[in-house]
Structure 1
Amino acid sequence: MKKESMKLVEEPRIGVFVCDCGSNIAGHLDCADVAEYAKTLPHVVYVKENLYTCSESGIVEIKNAITQENLNRVLVASCSPRTHHPLFSSSCAEAGLNPYLFEMVNIRDQCSWVHMGKREDATQKAKHLVKMGVAKAAGLEPREEIESSLIRKIMVVGGGIAGLSAAQALSDMDLDVILVEKTDHFGGLLQSLGTLETGETAEDFLGRVVADVQRRSNVTAYTGAQVKSTGGYIGNYEVTIDTPEGEVTDKVGAMVVATGAVPLIPEGIFGYGNKGVVSLMELEQHLKNDTLEKAGFSGQRMVFIQCAGTRNAKREYCSRICCMTAVKNAMTVKKKYPLADVRVLYRDMQMYGAQKEQMLWDARGMGIRFDVYDPENPPNVEAGKVSYFRTVTGDDVSLETDLTVLSTPLTARQGTGELANMLRVPTDQNGFFLEAHAKLRPLDFAADGIFVAGAGRYPATATESRTQGIGVASRVAAILFKDKLVKSAIVAGIDPASCVGCLSCLPMCPYEAITYNKDARVCQINEILCKGCGNCAATCPSHSALLAGFKPEQLLAQIGAA
């Protein structure tokens, strides 16, 4: 950021840009009326209505207005700040205006979308929001972005296919990698599989990847090891690892969590534990080791029961990959035993993607039977017999079967919660790691510098896990290939002159960015860790904690304009 853009501005000169967003906004409120109203507001010297403010022409108009109209504040009334604020603020910076002198008003989500069919009401609300935005913009202050050094080394936790793929990709970028695997061997669940959905044997595929990772000089791999502690912040983490050779301490710039998941052992479900009843993972191992006969299969009939132990009150989620795995294994059995009666009892088949959908049709073409069952009236398994109510035809079916296979879900690994607490990252209600945003940041945690890949995030196939591992590497590279870490200046600060050291703010910070200085008897904020949530500012009884860009006078100006 140019230093001249940091100069304080005495008299606000605000430019307001109202976006039609095609008909997305203009179709439900009068954008021209909103623009005309903006011209009457204090400190507003320029107003422009755009068809698409985020388009190239819209951005050029903002830049030109900053220079030609000598604007020192810019307000855009358009859509969500979450997706478009970075674009507009960076455009202001390119025109020489401090990006923290930019304000945004959301008249799409908060007006046109929620008041469809009420054009006048939506228009009046948009005027109020623009008025409030202008009032706040007049009190904005220039700020300088926060800079920090970076360590170009990454710790990858988990040596399954996601972790191995991340290590490979990061190593290819000439970055140093520490790979930590809890067990004595790399590979995770892939070690137990026979064939992949691609048709290749898991053993050949995994062997190739593991050998490639182990020969790389910039990958330090530990097996039988666990992460003992972590500290620090993005670009500068301190990690301690327990290894068979002793404790290892190192510094890394980012961390990748790829701890995977484990298949549910279906104890007490559909007769599991009795002769002739196995889990889907156990079938995988029998197929891999060619021991189906030992499991009791004589080539007569095999029945798969889907959703065993999931999509119920205890585990509400769908494991996604069980249907594909069951169909893959059913096809393998049918190829080896062409005369066998192979059936899949399902609630609904989740064969997402064109390749998996084609697999389902190929399975039907091979003669594999698919019958729907009602979860309120599930199949009954006992003494080598499966009985169920066939929903489509409305009749009861009872089948003698050699082997009953229970398709169980992948579940979160034991210890996931402890690791999440150590890294200060969240998990969902099912124990899986929770990404920052399913659509916008699917491989990031909310905590900067920590990423997630593979089945530890949610059940995934080997191909998906490998893709996520490679994707994580690109996310890490986007940070560590910079000369220095630059982060937003919208962070909180504590005034040591007025802080009384009451510690009210400490438990309110979800990012553990606040510490207590015993010598000075005041609380202090690590600006790198702070995410600008404002919890401390809202809690502080002495008003010592203030959030940049949201100071009381700025918020009160908005309220006064409402």
Structure 2
Amino acid sequence: MEVLKQPRYVDETKCTACGVCATYCPVPVPDAYDENLANRTAIYIPYAQAAPSAYVVDPNYCLFLNRQECKQCTRTCGADAINFDQRPEVLTYQVGALILSPGFKTFDPARVPSYHYADSLNIVTGKEFERICSASGPYIGKILRPSDLRKPDKIAFIQCIGSRDRASGNPYCSSVCCKYAVKDAIVALEHEPDLDITIFFMDMRLYGKGFETFYERAMAQGVKFVRARVSEIKEHPQTKGLTLRYVTEDGSLKKDSFDLVVLAHGIEAPEGNSALAMAASIRLNEYGFCETSLFSPLDTARKGIFVAGAFQGPKSIPDSVIQAGGAAASAAELLASVRNTMVSEKVYPDERSEPDEPPKIGVFVCHCGKNIGAVVDVQEVKKYADTLADVLVVEDNLYSCSQDTQALIRETVIKHKLNRIVVAACTPRTHESLFQDTIREAGLNKCLVEMVNIRDQCSWVHMHQKGAATEKAKELIRMGIAKARLIQPLSEAVIGVIPKGLIVGGGLSGMTAALSLVRQGFECYLIERSSDLGGNLRHTYFTLDGSDPQKHLDRLRREVRDHDNIHVFTGATIRESDGFVGNFRTVLSFGNGENGRTIEVEHGTIIISTGATPYQPDEYLYGKHENVLLQQALEERLAHRKLGPKDLNHVVMIQCVGSRDKTHPYCSAVCCGQAIKNALKIKEINPDANVTILYRDVMTYGFSEDYYALARDRGIVFMRYGPDHKPRVEDIDGVIRVTVQNQLMKKNIIIDADLLVLSTAMVPRENRKLVEQLKVPLSADEFFLESH
């Protein structure tokens, strides 16, 4: 593989990132990282956590590279790192696999003339507003409008800018805009609680784990949500205020004035995608993203080249992270035969060992941007920590996890010969290992760091009690320092890892994980409590894109059953499990009661893939009328031809049954797609069928928006209902009568249906026993809780 490396004109092996060169550089340049809301210099570090942490010269603005003038950076660089003789070079690498993750670009709102984005400083994009809110941004986290640096009183967010819009060339949904708009609205209110914020939207697509609760939180904090499409934004020439004209759901034309407007702009395929596709011999879809298939979403058209993140299609951070792990596993499958070759081991300095030395403690208090700093008085906490016994150094840092702060901690430990470190920041669950590695690089034993969680336990839970949060932070730090005095260095024993995995749950994800493990060269045990493998995929017969789920299931089952290193146990559950990372012992039970057969297996890791199941409702005549079905049952009947054209004249589907409510306060992410898929199948069987889908918000995110448009083109009717006006279903002499309030006319519509289909929530399987056995936590919704 050949890679073209552009010159940075700075020797990254010499650069210490001291910043003196940037101090003396005379050329101001709009800073792309700050969305051009602030300036940098022609020599700069792209952003605080850039890797490598070394400066780079911008050849478009450097006076020496363009006019042979200046060279101030050369004269002031004490490390002699500036090198204007660098030239582009082609680097050649021998690789066994390639992962493409070039990301995305954002839509330019100037392409929508009626919004006048290019004409008003007070109309900003979502990314620009993110930087405005950031403590490391151009306004140091203060919410100011760019035209006059005055605090805005009213802010409007407008959704779907460059998304769900055929005129812009992007008919798909960008999947993230609703989420980041709600997040930014909440963050803005954390900074300025008296802001008046309105979000204009078509559908609020806050699907998936935890996002619906976020939506409810925003409404509880006073964010207004208006279902409308804004047609025009006009700026007042004197005040620079903005007037929005919009049409509401009932057809009324309205207008409102705001001080700042945020355009939630969507995602487009990255720059250079065509050149990359040509170089890598992969295919792009019609929108310029990498083309993959439904059941192999990480595989490109070329074997050995994988894709991860938004280059595969618009997606959120959690989805991108999951894909990254999957792509790495796919690459590891190809490289299994050469594992542990070409490995370079990280070398640490010798540990300082002075057991009789009194405690010398360094305390590092993190602002975490505004996460901590906007609530906890960090300076007061810092002064307090400095008064405590055995504390030699106290520092406060904007982001303690950043590369520059890690370097500062290392240097401080060495300079002051510290032998204990206390980091008051966020949760050790995600960041302890980072600080352990940092002090190890400074010559301390990794166990000599103590973390105090003043984010989760102070600023987050006491957001509106700043004084109390500060006092609690001081108390927690005092306790952390007391504990740090007593901690001792520990040596790590080297223990062998059992190269086997245990996978709990034999559905699509479980079987896929099993095959990945064995392709990476490991043995695994796959246990499934039912009598057969497949999970929910056994009841899935169609997909929106026309793939064949049953064919894929048959192939998976065959590959799993035929592989010598996959040991399948059906009708099995875990009776007990103990051990630690790399060494677990689990007893599997077959049959009922204590008299059932058991076997014991040893393994190094556990993968939980127990899945979810459709919620069984007690409303809408379900279980009381034979023609009231769940979507899964409808799909099975359609697949087995148990429903003909005469059975499908009038079909009503109700979305969000047992979902997005107090019992299950989340969107299951799959129900709308499933309803549209089945509705289109009904239209195939009976083109004259009247199919009505009653919905709250249509969650066809990503490229599935195309099928929402197709459904409307085929005559499928979508009628919205509000959570306070749920449909009413009655049995009138054997006929299913559905009454729903039309949101446009505010009148009741009556539909007599041959078939009523309920799209119910996906709920977790009963996992309490498994939680106790494996000692892993659940979320409030009783799904397994991820580490971050």
The 3-state SS of whatever aligns with 2:600 is strand
Distance in 1, Cα, partners of 2:520 & 2:648: 50
The one of 693, 697, 708 equivalent to 1:349 is 697
Q: Does 1:44 align with 2:384?
A: no
Q: Does 1:257 align with 2:604?
A: no
Q: Does 1:231 align with 2:590?
A: no
Distance in 2, Cα, partners of 1:189 & 1:63: 51
The 3-state SS of whatever aligns with 2:760 is coil
- Kindly provide the CA deviation profile for residues 38-60 of structure 1, in whole angstroms up to 9, marking residues without a partner as x: 55543333344444432222212
Corresponding letter in the other structure for 1:387:
V
Distance in 2, Cα, partners of 1:359 & 1:66: 58
- Report if aligned partners of 2:349, 2:442 keep a CA contact under 8 Å in 1: no
Q: Counterpart in 2 of 1:73?
A: 420
- Report if aligned partners of 2:655, 2:760 keep a CA contact under 8 Å in 1: yes
Structure 1 residue 5: deviation in Å? 5.1
Q: Does 1:370 align with 2:721?
A: no
Q: Counterpart in 2 of 1:144?
A: 491
Q: Relative to 1, partners in 2 of residues 1:198 and 1:237: Cα closer, same or farther, differing over 3 Å? A: farther
Q: Counterpart in 2 of 1:96?
A: 443
Structure 1 residue 363: deviation in Å? 2.0
- Kindly provide the CA deviation profile for residues 471-506 of structure 1, in whole angstroms up to 9, marking residues without a partner as x: xxxxxxxxxxxxxxxxxxxxxxxxxxxxxxxxxxxx
- Kindly provide the CA deviation profile for residues 279-328 of structure 1, in whole angstroms up to 9, marking residues without a partner as x: 322210122122212xx844422111234455667666654422221121
Q: Counterpart in 2 of 1:486?
A: none
Structure 1 residue 77: deviation in Å? 3.9
Distance in 2, Cα, partners of 1:31 & 1:309: 44
Q: Relative to 1, partners in 2 of residues 1:62 and 1:227: Cα closer, same or farther, differing over 3 Å? A: same
Q: Counterpart in 2 of 1:329?
A: 678
Number of corresponding residues: 432
Distance in 1, Cα, partners of 2:620 & 2:459: 51
- Report if aligned partners of 1:5, 1:96 keep a CA contact under 8 Å in 2: yes
Moved more, 182-191 or 259-268: 259-268
Structure 1 residue 219: deviation in Å? 1.0
The one of 732, 735, 742 equivalent to 1:384 is 735
Point out where structure 2 has 5 or more consecutive residues left out of the alignment.
Answer: 1-347
Structure 1 residue 29: deviation in Å? 6.7
Moved more, 192-201 or 108-117: 108-117
The 3-state SS of whatever aligns with 1:46 is strand
The 3-state SS of whatever aligns with 1:208 is helix
Q: Relative to 1, partners in 2 of residues 1:215 and 1:421: Cα closer, same or farther, differing over 3 Å? A: same
Counterparts of residues 12-411 of structure 1 (less than 5 Å): 12-21=359-368, 35=382, 38-106=385-453, 130=477, 133-145=480-492, 148-223=495-570, 225-227=571-573, 229-234=575-580, 235-242=583-590, 248-265=599-616, 269-270=620-621, 272-293=623-644, 297-308=646-657, 318-346=667-695, 348-349=696-697, 351=699, 353-373=701-721, 378-382=727-731, 383-392=734-743, 393-411=745-763
The structure showing larger relative contact order (alpha-carbon pairs under 8 Å, at least 6 residues apart) is 1
- Report if aligned partners of 2:622, 2:629 keep a CA contact under 8 Å in 1: no
Distance in 2, Cα, partners of 1:44 & 1:426: 36
Q: Counterpart in 2 of 1:549?
A: none
- Report if aligned partners of 1:373, 1:379 keep a CA contact under 8 Å in 2: no
- Report if aligned partners of 1:9, 1:72 keep a CA contact under 8 Å in 2: no
The 3-state SS of whatever aligns with 2:693 is strand
Q: Relative to 1, partners in 2 of residues 1:243 and 1:385: Cα closer, same or farther, differing over 3 Å? A: closer
- Report if aligned partners of 1:239, 1:249 keep a CA contact under 8 Å in 2: yes
Structure 1 residue 158: deviation in Å? 2.4
Structure 1 residue 276: deviation in Å? 3.5
- Report if aligned partners of 1:6, 1:143 keep a CA contact under 8 Å in 2: no
Structure 1 residue 200: deviation in Å? 0.7
The 3-state SS of whatever aligns with 2:487 is coil
- Report if aligned partners of 1:334, 1:366 keep a CA contact under 8 Å in 2: yes
Distance in 1, Cα, partners of 2:579 & 2:517: 20
Identity value in percent: 34
Moved more, 254-263 or 321-330: 254-263
Structure 1 residue 228: deviation in Å? 5.6
The 3-state SS of whatever aligns with 1:435 is coil
Q: Counterpart in 2 of 1:509?
A: none
Q: Relative to 1, partners in 2 of residues 1:45 and 1:360: Cα closer, same or farther, differing over 3 Å? A: same
Corresponding letter in the other structure for 2:446:
P
Structure 1 residue 237: deviation in Å? 1.0
- Report if aligned partners of 1:351, 1:360 keep a CA contact under 8 Å in 2: no
The 3-state SS of whatever aligns with 2:712 is helix
- Report if aligned partners of 1:387, 1:396 keep a CA contact under 8 Å in 2: no
Structure 1 residue 206: deviation in Å? 1.2
Q: Relative to 1, partners in 2 of residues 1:292 and 1:54: Cα closer, same or farther, differing over 3 Å? A: same
Distance in 2, Cα, partners of 1:278 & 1:265: 10
- Report if aligned partners of 1:5, 1:142 keep a CA contact under 8 Å in 2: no
- Report if aligned partners of 2:587, 2:598 keep a CA contact under 8 Å in 1: no
Point out where structure 1 has 5 or more consecutive residues left out of the alignment.
Answer: 442-562
- Kindly provide the CA deviation profile for residues 85-116 of structure 1, in whole angstroms up to 9, marking residues without a partner as x: 33222211222212332234455566667788
TM (normalized to structure 2)?
0.48
- Report if aligned partners of 1:193, 1:288 keep a CA contact under 8 Å in 2: no
- Report if aligned partners of 2:350, 2:443 keep a CA contact under 8 Å in 1: no
Q: Counterpart in 1 of 2:77?
A: none
Distance in 2, Cα, partners of 1:189 & 1:3: 54
Q: Relative to 1, partners in 2 of residues 1:107 and 1:9: Cα closer, same or farther, differing over 3 Å? A: farther
Distance in 2, Cα, partners of 1:30 & 1:56: 24
Counterparts of residues 543-558 of structure 1 (less than 5 Å): none
Structure 1 residue 150: deviation in Å? 2.5
Structure 1 residue 379: deviation in Å? 2.2
- Report if aligned partners of 2:738, 2:753 keep a CA contact under 8 Å in 1: no
- Kindly provide the CA deviation profile for residues 529-560 of structure 1, in whole angstroms up to 9, marking residues without a partner as x: xxxxxxxxxxxxxxxxxxxxxxxxxxxxxxxx
Q: Relative to 1, partners in 2 of residues 1:27 and 1:178: Cα closer, same or farther, differing over 3 Å? A: closer
Q: Relative to 1, partners in 2 of residues 1:337 and 1:5: Cα closer, same or farther, differing over 3 Å? A: farther
Q: Relative to 1, partners in 2 of residues 1:37 and 1:262: Cα closer, same or farther, differing over 3 Å? A: closer
Structure 1 residue 388: deviation in Å? 0.4
Distance in 2, Cα, partners of 1:222 & 1:390: 51
- Report if aligned partners of 1:195, 1:202 keep a CA contact under 8 Å in 2: yes
The 3-state SS of whatever aligns with 1:212 is helix
Structure 1 residue 118: deviation in Å? 9.2
TM (normalized to structure 1)?
0.66
- Report if aligned partners of 2:573, 2:590 keep a CA contact under 8 Å in 1: yes
- Report if aligned partners of 1:271, 1:381 keep a CA contact under 8 Å in 2: no
CA-atom RMSD, angstroms? Answer: 3.8
Distance in 1, Cα, partners of 2:687 & 2:456: 57
Distance in 1, Cα, partners of 2:384 & 2:548: 67
